[in-house]
Amino acid sequence: MNEPNRSVTVDQVNWSSILLITRLPRALALSLAPNRIIMGFVLVVVLMATGTMWDAIFGSPVGPNGLGSAPAGERLVEETLRPILRNRNLVSAEQAEKMSAGEALSPVAVRRAIEQTFRARTAEERADVRLEVDGARMMIRTVEPSGVFNAASRAVVDHTRDLLRAAVRLECGLVLSHVVEMLRIPGLLFEHHLGFAIVFGVWALLVLLIGGAAMSRAAACQFAVERYIPWTEALTFALRRWIAIVGAPGLPLAGLAIGAVALALGGLLLAVPGLNLVGAVLYGLALLGSAIAACLLLLTLIAGALFVPAVAVESADAPDALARAFSFVRNRPLHWVVYGAASFVQGVFGLLVVALVAAVAVGFAAWGAGLIVSSPAIDAMGRNASITQILPPDELWSLTGTHRMTGGLIGLWRTAAAGLVAGWVLSYFWCVTTVLYFLMRKATDDQDLEEIWQPGLIEGTMAPGRAQAGEVGEVS
């Protein structure tokens, strides 16, 4: 018997459970936690320090046109630097004579000579030749080589600056083009500087994965159960789970490397008369293996952002983290695309806000410090800050005496402000990917957003188990 129609009264709708995307802005709030920004800043400092050491050891093999360009030839260098040496407004006669006696001119040495000559002049003389000196320094840059790390970091900074300019003007196409250009940097490094790409790339990946896992764990505990864990506990968790953290992206990369070696060995058959026919017959297997490798690579690139959060949220091992990430993206591709696009837009907005705060802080500090009396160090290194110019200008060379030391310290603090912006970028990436993991898990498995692995549960599951002695975050 059919029941009669009955009216139902709905008091309220839990839109956050129905529209999971409304939880995404929480990632922006999580990324602004001071401890996570400082952790990101520390990661940036570590990479900058080790990258600078690499350039100091291995020299400057990159040409003036950036990654992929060769250093300028000796003849071009001579033709560019000789006229500068002959100009007495730029280089003193004593320094020019000493450098001309050498076998080859160095752009670094000529630039240093120009700067020393400029600082030795009186204030009135410096004002008269300043434009000429700036022009000469720009000419030197057209033939001056740089280290691989310096060129790569400069490319990232330049594209980020252009991305912010495009975002302010709401030029979405340019924003995406600069993102694509930044994604091309690793490819250029592998193509032109393989040793740096492998050695420094592995080191950078290790640093970012361990540090990112610590930030991801802290964000996951705060997002799921509002538990604020100290950075020491988060870092200890990451260090104890480092095999799973590194193994998650390492397994597909190792599989691709093994496949490449197998193809190379199989290719030897094609070079041996007689056996080349066997190699040609088996070439179909090579194509099949390559197709599988292509699918694995594509899936890794698409779902790779979820590998570390899978370990941070579930305490999963590497194979389980891979399986979860691949399953979520494969079963809910539209969710992943929409969430990813929303995360990117939100991230650009957040970067604009953070860069604006840093620029206002730098500008206000310079304005306040020079309110009563002007300082050459402040004028050279502290002013003209903007959203796209947080790093200090290259003006330290023009200062003399204690003003030079003062300007160096001001530039260091201003560089730290830019480093905190970069630290926020890392913080946001790991926070938003952690929130995305929760949302994709909910959309795929209908698992509650509040569920997170805690000490006492079986690793990789939410099932109760015997707590392990000394486990990270054990609640007394």
**Which pLDDT tens digits describe the chain residue by residue (476 residues)?**
455 566 655 454 444 444 788 899 999 999 999 999 999 999 999 999 999 999 999 988 998 888 888 888 888 888 888 888 888 888 888 888 877 766 667 888 888 888 888 888 888 888 888 888 889 889 988 888 899 999 999 999 999 999 999 998 888 889 999 999 998 999 899 889 989 999 999 999 999 999 999 999 999 999 998 889 999 999 999 999 999 999 988 888 888 888 888 888 777 777 777 777 777 777 788 888 888 888 888 888 888 899 999 999 998 898 999 999 999 999 999 999 999 999 999 999 999 999 999 999 999 999 888 888 888 888 888 888 888 889 998 888 888 889 889 999 999 999 999 999 999 999 999 999 999 999 999 999 888 888 898 887 777 666 675 544 344 444 43
Half-sphere exposure of 214 (CA within 13 A, CB side): 24
Distance CA 241, CA 468 (A): 14
- Residue 462, Cβ neighbours under 10 Å: how many? 13
pTM of the model: 0.86
Distances (CA, A) of 252 to 94, 296, 331: 61, 7, 20
Indicate the SS3 state at residue 146. strand
- In 332-400, alpha helices (H): 333-369, 376-381
Distance CA 32, CA 97 (A): 56
Counting Cβ atoms within 10 Å, is residue 470 exposed (0-12), middle (13-18) or buried (19+)? exposed
Q: Would you say 265 and 242 are in contact if contact means Cβ atoms under 8 Å apart?
A: no
Distance CA 438, CA 68 (A): 40
Q: What pLDDT is recorded for position 370? A: 84
Phi and psi at residue 5, in whole multiples of 5°?
A: -60, 135
Distance CA 222, CA 240 (A): 20
The residue assigned the tokens 């000493």 is: 98
Distance CA 416, CA 440 (A): 36
Q: What pLDDT is recorded for position 13? A: 42
- The beta-carbon contacts of 229-235 under 8 Å, at least 24 apart in sequence, are 229/473, 230/35, 231/35, 231/38, 231/39, 233/472, 233/473, 235/39, 235/210, 235/211
Q: What pLDDT is recorded for position 3? A: 53
Distance CA 398, CA 394 (A): 9
Shortest CA distance to 119 belongs to which of 401, 375, 411?
A: 401
- Residue 392, Cβ neighbours under 10 Å: how many? 24
Residue 187 CA, chain-centre distance (Å), reads 15
The residue assigned the tokens 């204030």 is: 123
- In 370-454, alpha helices (H): 376-381, 401-445
Shortest CA distance to 451 belongs to which of 462, 465, 435, 440?
A: 462
Half-sphere exposure of 26 (CA within 13 A, CB side): 20
Strand partners, 452: none
Token reading at 102: 């050498």
Q: What pLDDT is recorded for position 470? A: 42
Q: Would you say 149 and 60 are in contact if contact means Cβ atoms under 8 Å apart?
A: no
Q: Would you say 110 and 104 are in contact if contact means Cβ atoms under 8 Å apart?
A: no
Half-sphere exposure of 46 (CA within 13 A, CB side): 16
Distance CA 158, CA 160 (A): 5
**CA-atom Rg of the chain in angstroms:** 28
